[in-house]
């Protein structure tokens, strides 16, 4: 059974003055598992070994300054995500600005207030937990998206390409960087419902019968059921994408026959991204179309399959989309 000490969040405290280390130990010692370093060089060695959840860092130290230590931490892929709080006697706004410039998340001046230190440490550690939860959710979503590819003749690089196409189109439409990033991570789930379609239909090399196609058209709703109701905005977005990316602007799509702006924007974006990549990629049952032919087809479907405004943006973004295709080619 794990002891409380082992389950506590870890904080590295870096200060060359023993008195300052004692003050922070008194404030935080009963709440967190503390490790201490008296120099920047020692701190970097301990970070590599301990991987703390948070670092409290003095600025004025012999050898490496706190600013230099923070820069070193942020340039290392293994430590760049660890939040750094400066705790220092330097109270000039120029020094504070430099602290944030080198990558710190907070700047506290000495003498410290125990209540302020506790509150800010608690806040930043809660943000670490939220960030870790989001990364875990993203990984689950991406892996589920890849899982659907095992039921299809498509490749894992299809998911990469079409999700990045979707991000580019979202930004061009005017969505915020955060919203476009969410779509990037939700788009891989667009065909998750294919997991529920029989292999005899999914892998059939010939044209599907009407009955078989009717079954195939249930995969958006199966995907929505798989994703279910969630308190995660990202999973809710993935559910919307799964359910609506086969709807068409003129109302002839499925499963609901939505038309025009009844179709959520994210579904309309993913529809173009998905079709463009499918047309320009080789499959066991077809050769890849030239980009020019695919663009011509998408233009012919403006106002029919696709949102006319997005078709215009699609053409403007074509150089970026081609760059993405070149980056993630099928093996």
What CATH number does the domain containing 42 carry? 3.40.50.2300
Q: Is it the case that residue 197 has pLDDT exceeding 70?
A: yes
The CA distance from 320 to 23, in Å, is 54
Identify whether residues 184 and 252 lie together within a single domain. yes
Domain hosting 289: range is: 150-327
Give 247-259 pLDDT, tens digit per residue.
Answer: 999 999 999 999 9
pLDDT digits (tens, 9 = 90+) for 125-161: 988 877 777 777 667 766 676 666 665 655 568 888 9
Identify whether 161 is part of a domain: yes
CATH of the domain at 225: 1.10.3210.10
Average pLDDT over residues 83-102: 95
Q: Are residues 126 and 155 in the same domain?
A: no
Same domain, yes or no: 316 and 176: yes
pLDDT of residue 2: 45
Q: Say whether both 77 and 121 belong to one domain.
A: yes
Average pLDDT over residues 256-266: 97
Note whether 84 and 157 are same-domain residues: no
Q: How many domains does the chain have?
A: 2
pLDDT tens digit sequence for 34-87 = 999 999 999 999 999 999 999 999 999 999 999 999 999 999 999 998 999 999
Quote the percentage of the chain above a pLDDT of 70. Answer: 91
Residues 306, 198: one domain?
A: yes
pLDDT reported for residue 61: 95
Claim to verify: residue 122 and residue 155 sit in the same structural domain = no
State whether 123 and 246 are in the same domain: no
On whether residue 136 sits in a domain, the answer given is no
* Residue 138 domain flag: no
Domain membership flag for residue 249: yes
pLDDT band at 331 (very low <50, low <70, confident <90, very high): low
135 part of a folded domain? no
Do the domain assignments include residue 139?
Answer: no
Q: Residues 164, 301: one domain? A: yes
- pLDDT score for 1: 43
The label of the residue with tokens 């440490």 reads: 121
Percent of the chain with pLDDT over 90: 73
| Residue 141 in domain | no
Is residue 102 domain-shared with residue 171, that is, in the same domain?
Answer: no
Q: Encode pLDDT of 274-320 as tens digits.
A: 999 999 998 766 789 999 999 999 999 999 999 999 999 999 999 99
Note whether 175 and 323 are same-domain residues.
yes
The model's pTM? 0.65
Q: DSSP secondary structure string, 176-245?
A: -HHHHHHHHHHGGGTTGGGGGS-HHHHT-SSPPPHHHHHHHTTHHHHHHHHH-S-S-HHHHHHHHHHHHT
pLDDT at res. 301: 98
Checking phi first, is residue 289 left (phi over 0); if not, alpha (psi -120 to 50) or beta?
A: beta
pLDDT of 228 reads: 85
Q: Please tell me the least confidently modeled range out of 19-28, 194-203, 214-223, 270-279.
A: 194-203
Is 204 domain-assigned? yes
Predicted local distance difference test score (pLDDT) of residue 4: 55
Alpha carbons 283 and 299: distance in angstroms, whole number: 23
Are 109 and 244 part of one and the same domain?
A: no
273 contact partners, CB below 8 Å, separation of at least 6: 162, 163, 165, 166, 169, 187
How is residue 290 annotated by DSSP? P
Give the strand order in the sheet containing 106-109.
33-37, 10-14, 54-57, 84-88, 106-109
């Amino acid at each position: 059974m794990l002891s409380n000490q082992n389950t506590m969040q870890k904080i590295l405290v870096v200060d060359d003055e023993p008195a300052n280390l004692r003050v922070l130990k008194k404030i935080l010692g009963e709440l967190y598992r503390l490790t201490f370093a008296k120099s920047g060089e020692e701190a970097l060695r301990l970070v590599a070994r301990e991987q703390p959840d948070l670092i409290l860092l003095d600025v004025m130290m012999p050898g490496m300054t706190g600013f230099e230590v923070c820069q070193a931490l942020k340039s290392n892929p293994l430590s760049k995500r660890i939040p750094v709080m400066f705790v220092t006697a330097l109270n000039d706004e120029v020094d504070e600005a430099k602290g944030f410039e080198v990558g710190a998340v907070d700047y506290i001046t000495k003498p410290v207030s125990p209540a302020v230190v506790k509150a800010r440490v608690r806040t930043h550690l809660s943000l670490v937990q939220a960030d870790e939860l989001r990364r875990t959710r993203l990984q689950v979503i991406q892996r589920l998206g890849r899982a659907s590819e095992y039921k299809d003749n498509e490749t894992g690089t299809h998911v990469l390409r079409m999700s990045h196409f979707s991000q580019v189109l979202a930004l061009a439409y005017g969505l915020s960087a955060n919203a476009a990033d969410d779509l990037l991570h939700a788009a891989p789930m667009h065909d998750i419902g294919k997991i529920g379609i029989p292999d005899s239909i999914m892998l059939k090399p010939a044209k599907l019968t009407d009955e078989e196609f009717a079954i195939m058209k249930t995969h958006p709703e199966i995907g929505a059921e798989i994703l279910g109701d969630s308190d995660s905005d990202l999973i809710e977005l993935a559910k919307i994408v799964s359910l609506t990316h086969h709807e068409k602007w003129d109302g002839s799509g499925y499963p609901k026959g939505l038309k025009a702006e009844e179709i959520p924007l994210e579904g309309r974006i993913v529809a173009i991204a998905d079709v463009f990549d499918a047309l320009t990629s080789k499959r066991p049952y077809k050769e890849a179309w030239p980009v020019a032919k695919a663009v011509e087809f998408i233009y012919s479907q403006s106002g029919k399959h696709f949102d006319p405004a997005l078709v215009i943006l699609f053409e403007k973004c074509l150089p970026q989309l081609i760059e993405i295709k070149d980056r993630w080619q099928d093996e």
